Structure 1
Amino acid sequence: MAYFAPYIDATGLHCPTYQDIMEEQIQQARAIYGQDIYLGTDSQDYQYISTFALKMSDTLQAIKLVYDSRGPGTAIGSGLDILVKLNGIKRNGSGYSVATETLSGTPGTVINNGVVQDKQNYYWNLPPSVVIGTAGTVDAQVTCQTAGPIAANAGDIDAIATPTYGWSLATNALAAVQGVNAETDSQLKGRQSISTSQPSRTVLEGTKGAIAAVSGVTRFIVYENPTNDVDTDGLPPHSITAVVEGGSDADIAQAIFLKKGPGCLANGTTVVNITDQFGQIVPIGFYRPSYVDIDVVVNVKQLTGYTSATTSLIKTALVNYLDSLSIGDDLPASSLWGSSLSAMQSLSKPTFSITSLTLAKHGLTQGTADITIGFDEVVRGNSSYLTINVT
């Protein structure tokens, strides 16, 4: 394209490219100094012109980013954070995995600033001060030092990282409650779009928008059964069923109470009693998602360039994909092939080939069939359940 002056029309701000600016500068230089001026890439004049062209291009690109940051659809980063505040929401930060740790040792032993370690070499902080009880044990909540969805199965957090006299054992009887990654721009944009549905034309959209605006909510889905019969998911007639991850029970129930339609049952196993302005108690129910761990076995043939780090990249890619699925999403087996292959920098120069891939819900028989997920379930990635066999 030829150089053009920046302009704004119905489709947005348009700016010339670096190459357009460069060619225009060269033409102007020849018009000033004559057509016989030498402007080869090795000339000082060319280098001087290219430097100015680059600065102009950089400035125009920065202006375009500023222009695009005026709306939530094209804004990024901190600009997006500012805009969504107008809708009463904010970006969800990263969260830390937590677990209940049983500490054993001499009764009365005081553990100050204790740290335990899991089998994946992650460190978990105890409360500032913990005292072992008269029975020789005490339960304490431990928090992972690394933010994000760090998984720890029952019995995984079993090493004492800060030895203390009188403290002999540590273990977790239950799996850790996983943390979350910081909300991405695309996730925040999706939640912002839903949040604007609060004053919408349909009550259901307004309910979804209210739930999306609840602080701490990371994933959710709302089902509606307007019929006179129980639906295929077993949801009662004339009801809405929200499945919500994150946020407090009270805030979620209040959001549903304020937006749901009259005479509509708010269905769910988590029930919060809301007192309306007339003193009447209204039970509001919703579900918390059940997490489904997936066992995956990937058999790969290593090609040129494959290293032990590649195995770790395959696991990471699989975990990230599994954690990205929404509540109620089924798991297609083919998607795990694509996730595994994404660990390669370039498919045109493969470092491995997949000879077979099987999957199953944790503890069940491996197979190649897609996995069906319930309406109140969500798939969870756990690197401990991923096996990469290399030949």
Structure 2
Amino acid sequence: MASPTAAVITSTGITAPSYAEILAYLQSQYRSIYGADVYLEADSQDGQFLAMQALAISDANAAIIAAYLSYSPSTAQGAGLSNNVKINGISRAIPTNSQVDLVIIGQAGTPITSGIVEDQNSNKWALPASVTIPPSGTITVTATCTTLGAVSAGPNQVNKIVTTTRGWQSITNPGAASMGSPVETDPALRAKQKTSTALPSRTVLEGTIGAVANVSGVTRYVAYDNDTSVTDANGIPANHLAMVVEGGDVTAIASAIAAKKGPGGGTYGTTSATVLNVYSMPITINYFRPTYRAVTGAMSLKALAGYTAAIGAAAQQAVSDYVNQVAIGGGPSGTVEWADALTAANSVPGSSTFKLTALTLSGPGGVGNPDVPLAFNEAASCTPSSIVLTVT
């Protein structure tokens, strides 16, 4: 039979006694040997010795619990979670570079090798290793910023050809760049693992979403399936699939959609790529890149004892982080939620040192009421400096 100080695994999971319970058990056993009148308080040598033993047992139990929990993707952390998701054929995303879809115009048949272009801020963007302009004279490719991290570029700002090539006439980006991201967090990896299980799903839509989610560099995505015989409220034609995808290579995304989508249904969107299907026949896949909706805010705090400027900055960062992780199209509600932004601000370490007296969110159309609505293909974006802080 296990000692009362040991961690125990039952049909309901794993449990372990607390440090206080372990210490109390050791003290009772000590007194049963040396007498009930032995002094074992914290200021005694024997009391300190038992406390050291209790701490060692408690730490060992904590390690056992962590090891037990590391076997499940829903509870594993860090390296344990990274190992678990390999079972699903996925891995934790490493820090990424910003990417942008570029429209290349030039003479048909012109090869571009290791092409480099530049934006208005002198940031360099690398084209795929080899690009050949098709007979139409135009092709859309995904370029990757040579600088790691969140490098921004607005529409039509990536327009300077650095690698001069005969026959290559112009370059531009119709949409904004999708900014790079830091190493993938545990919650994001758990969400991706959950989505990845849809790859062998019974429904075609779930399989298509799972395939797109696993394309390298994809950060946010949403699918709209109009299976009716009329154009829907979002303007998606009848019997068409529209996906909105942030990040990832344009051709890789199109290939994933082509491999999983059902036969007969069309694809809809403003970004197009031609790939080969399983029969080596060319097929054009259309989808959307998100349009970014800048969200700003005004936050008022009443400072209490212990408040510092760093705590206020953390609240600004928390609201910004919440806005940037809102699903494309705003999720089920279709909005950036004011209540969730409040929760984010009140959840920062040190939140007990201030009282949040006011918070408003605004989009290009004005102040939210109180939420900021998003169109089906819009993604919210926000920086900490966009949340104006007033402290009284």
TM tier relative to shorter chain: 0.7 to 0.9
Cα distance between partner residues in 2 of 1:207 and 1:181: 26
Verify the 8 A CA contact 1:357 1:368 in the aligned structure 2: no
Residue 217 of structure 1: SS of its match in structure 2?
coil
- TM superposition shift of 1:5: 4.4
Q: Which letter maps to 1:220?
A: Y
Going from structure 1 to structure 2, the CA distance change for 1:295 and 1:93 (only over 3 Å counts) comes to same
- For residues 207-234 of structure 1, what are the alpha-carbon distances to aligned partners after superposition, in whole Å with 9 as ceiling and x for unaligned? 1111122111111111211111111222
Partner of 1:336: 341
Match of 2:205 in 1: 204
Q: Distance in 1 between matches of 2:96 and 2:259?
A: 28
Question: Where does residue 389 of structure 1 map in the other structure?
Answer: 390
Q: How does 1:1-391 map to 2 (within 5 A)?
A: 3=4, 5-96=6-97, 147=149, 149=150, 178-329=179-330, 330-343=335-348, 345-347=350-352, 350-354=353-357, 356-362=358-364, 364-366=365-367, 368-391=369-392
| Structure 2 residue matching 1:241: 3-state secondary structure | strand
Q: Is the 8 A contact 2:6 2:61 kept in 1?
A: no
Cα drift, residue 373 of structure 1: 0.3
Structure 1 residues 144, 381: closer, same or farther in 2, change over 3 A?
farther
CA contact (8 A) 2:208 2:257 kept: yes
Distance 1:230 1:5, change over 3 A: same
For structure 1, which segment, 241-250 or 35-44, has the greater mean C-alpha deviation from structure 2 after superposition? 35-44
Aligned equivalents of 1:4, 1:58: Cα separation in 2: 11
**8 A Cα contact 1:89 1:215, kept in partner:** no
Deviation at 1:61, TM superposition (A): 1.1
**Cα distance change of structure 1 residues 59 and 310 upon mapping to structure 2, 3 Å threshold:** closer
Q: Residue 104 of structure 1 aligns with which residue?
A: none
Consecutive unaligned residues in structure 2, runs of 5 or more: 101-120, 126-143, 156-174
1:267-289: CA deviations, max 9, x gaps?
22211112224342211111111
Question: 8 Å contact 2:245–2:289 — kept in the other structure?
Answer: yes
* Structure 1 residues 177 and 271: CA distance shift in structure 2, 3 A: closer
- Provide the secondary structure at the position in 2 that maps to 1:261: coil
Aligned residue identity for 1:284:
I
- 1: CA distance, partners of 2:272 / 2:124: 32
Deviation (angstroms), 1:19: 2.0
Q: Distance in 2 between matches of 1:152 and 1:283?
A: 27
- SS of match in other structure, 1:328: helix
Distance change in 2, residues 1:22/1:306 (3 Å)? closer
SS at match of 2:292: strand
CA RMSD of aligned residues (A): 3.0
The letter for the 2-side match of 1:351 is F
Larger CA deviation: 4-13 vs 257-266: 4-13
CA separation of 1:40 and 1:386: change in aligned 2, threshold 3 A? closer
Structure-2 residue corresponding to 1:161: none
Instruction: Give, in angstroms, the shift of residue 33 of structure 1.
Output: 1.7
**Match of 1:81, SS?**
helix
1:41-74 Cα shifts (integer Å, max 9, x gaps) = 2221111111111111111110111111112121
> Whole-Å Cα distance in 1 between the matches of residues 200 and 378 of structure 2?
29
| Structure 1 residue runs without a partner (length 5+) | 100-117, 119-123, 128-140, 155-173
1:346–1:370: structure 2 CA closer, same or farther, 3 Å change rule? closer
AA aligned to 2:187 is S
Cα distance 1:6–1:301, how it changes in 2: closer, same or farther (>3 A)?
closer
Between the aligned partners of 2:92 and 2:223, the Cα distance in structure 1 is 21
The alignment's TM-score, normalised by the length of structure 2, stands at 0.75
CA distance in 2, matches of 1:309, 1:7: 42
Identity %, equivalent residues: 37
Please identify, of 292-301 and 245-254, the stretch whose mean Cα deviation from structure 2 is larger.
292-301
- Looking at structure 2, the residues matched to 175 and 311 of structure 1 have their Cα atoms a distance apart, in angstroms, of 30
Number of equivalenced pairs: 329
